[in-house]
Amino acid sequence: MPISAVLGNKEIMDGTMEPGSHGATFAYNPLACKIAKTAVEIIMEEGLMENATKMGDLFSEEISKIKSPLIKERRGMGLLRAVEVVDDAHIDAHDLID
């Protein structure tokens, strides 16, 4: 069920957004709003953000153990991580695994 929202700090929202000035294709659906509210409640109640941080830290530690001259950079936060390989490396992921 799609839903959309606009978020911003008080200064931006109070200074630029007037009630009714912004509409969206996926806004204002009561069922979608209830589903989104329930999803956020579950995320909070089950500590899923804290778990993502914990698992992301573990994931980062494990990625940092991969030693290869093919790796240019490791970055990301939480469970969203990237490993960038050098530009001229024509490899597949198996080349990075011991």
pTM over 0.75: no
pLDDT value at 68 more than 70: yes
Domain boundaries, given as residue ranges, for the chain: 10-45, 48-96
Task: Output the pLDDT for position 16.
Answer: 78
Q: Judge contact between 81 and 57, C-beta under 8 A.
A: no
* 31: its two tokens: 């069922």
What whole-number distance in Å separates Cα of residue 8 and Cα of residue 12?
A: 6
Q: Judge contact between 73 and 84, C-beta under 8 A.
A: yes
Task: Output the pLDDT for position 96.
Answer: 66
Across all residues in the chain, what is the average pLDDT?
84
